[in-house]
Amino acid sequence: DGGITQSPKYLFRKEGQNVTLSCEQNLNHDAMYWYRQDPGQGLRLIYYSQIVNDFQKGDIAEGYSVSREKKESFPLTVTSAQKNPTAFYLCASSFGTSGGYTFGSGTRLTVV
Amino acid sequence: GEDVEQSLFLSVREGDSSVINCTYTDSSSTYLYWYKQEPGAGLQLLTYIFSNMDMKQDQRLTVLLNKKDKHLSLRIADTQTGDSAIYFCAERSNTGKLIFGQGTTLQVKP
């Protein structure tokens, strides 16, 4: 079945460490997105990529980095520069700039 | 700038109808969407409406679009406890990205 997979579902990080969240899709979608969701809040866009080897900053890119070396994959690295990384992270994909988004099931990151 | 607003909370009794409202600012939006998020899960596309439509019905879901007032609503008929979730309204911006509202938490009481 086609879909978008995020892993791991739960992730714990010590302060000062970088951590990478995985996002893989087999929908042949061109565009991929990373969102952050805090309790009781909506979605905030971190980074997005509309084509391989290209990506743009979203509204809250500071402290995060991404790569898009393959169409299927869009990993997100939460760096030690991100001051408040504990949140629920959602990855999504779409056919270019048309159509709705398909979302992964999310990764909950906790800093301990 | 582009903005989507929703009320944050709605509580209904099981069997009643629920109406979740949304306002948006981008008059050039071509598609508007409703997503559902259950606890600890990702967002699931419920339905969408093209901007040249006034209404779309899909089983228990009815979407109404008032383009003049930039107002979108989602009506859920015969609301069930399984409908308890957060509902997000989204518009497609002229850059192609979706702009999401803050989400409306729907609580269904038995």
Residue with tokens 């056919």: A95
- What is the rounded distance in angstroms from the CA atom of residue B72 to the CA atom of residue B34? 10
Confidence band, pLDDT 50/70/90 cuts, at residue B30: confident
Look at residue A39 and tell me whether its pLDDT is greater than 90: no
- What is the rounded distance in angstroms from the CA atom of residue A49 to the CA atom of residue B10? 35
Look at residue B1 and tell me whether its pLDDT is greater than 80: no
Instruction: Please give the pLDDT value at position A98.
Output: 66
How many Å separate Cα B15 from the centre of its chain?
A: 19
Confidence band, pLDDT 50/70/90 cuts, at residue A97: low
Instruction: Please give the pLDDT value at position B26.
Output: 81
Tell me the shortest Cα–Cα distance from B103 to chain A, in angstroms: 6
- The residue-averaged pLDDT of B42-46 equals 95
- The residue-averaged pLDDT of B13-24 equals 97
Q: What is the CA radius of gyration of chain B?
A: 13
Which chain A residues are within 8 Å of B88, Cβ to Cβ?
Answer: 42-43
Which chain A residues are within 8 Å of B89, Cβ to Cβ?
Answer: none
Residue A83, SS3 per DSSP: coil
Q: pLDDT, tens digit, for every residue of B55-110?
A: 999 999 999 999 999 999 999 999 999 999 999 999 987 777 889 999 999 999 99
Q: Do B96 and A101 touch (CB under 8 A)?
A: no
Phi, psi of B82, rounded to the nearest 5 degrees: -70, -10
User: DSSP labels for B6-71?
Assistant: E-SEEEEETTS-EEEEEEE--TT--EEEEEEE-TTS-EEEEEEEETT-SEEEETTEEEEEETTTTE
Residue with tokens 């969407």: B33
Phi, psi of B83, rounded to the nearest 5 degrees: -85, -10
Instruction: Please give the pLDDT value at position A108.
Output: 96
- Closest-CA residue of A relative to B90 is A100
Look at residue A17 and tell me whether its pLDDT is greater than 80: yes
Instruction: Please give the pLDDT value at position A22.
Output: 98
Phi, psi of A67, rounded to the nearest 5 degrees: -145, 155
Instruction: Please give the pLDDT value at position A40.
Output: 74
DSSP tally for chain A: helices H, then strands E: 0, 11
Residue B21: beta bridge partners? B73
Which chain A residues are within 8 Å of B101, Cβ to Cβ?
Answer: 42
Q: Which of A40, A97, A103 sits opposite B43 (nearest CB)?
A: A103
Q: Which of A33, A101, A105 sits opposite B41 (nearest CB)?
A: A105
- The residue-averaged pLDDT of B27-31 equals 81
Instruction: Please give the pLDDT value at position B29.
Output: 77
**Greater model confidence, A60 or A40:** A60
- The residue-averaged pLDDT of B30-37 equals 93
Q: pLDDT, tens digit, for every residue of A82-94?
A: 989 999 999 999 9
Count other Cβ atoms within 10 Å, centred on residue A109. 21
**Do the beta carbons of residue A68 and residue A76 sit within 8 Å?**
no
Instruction: Please give the pLDDT value at position A1.
Output: 65
Give which of B72, B70, B84 is closest to B34, Cα–Cα. Answer: B72
**Percent of chain A with pLDDT strictly greater than 70:** 97
**Do the beta carbons of residue B44 and residue A103 sit within 8 Å?**
yes
- The residue-averaged pLDDT of A68-95 equals 95
Q: Which two tokens stand for residue A81?
A: 């520069």
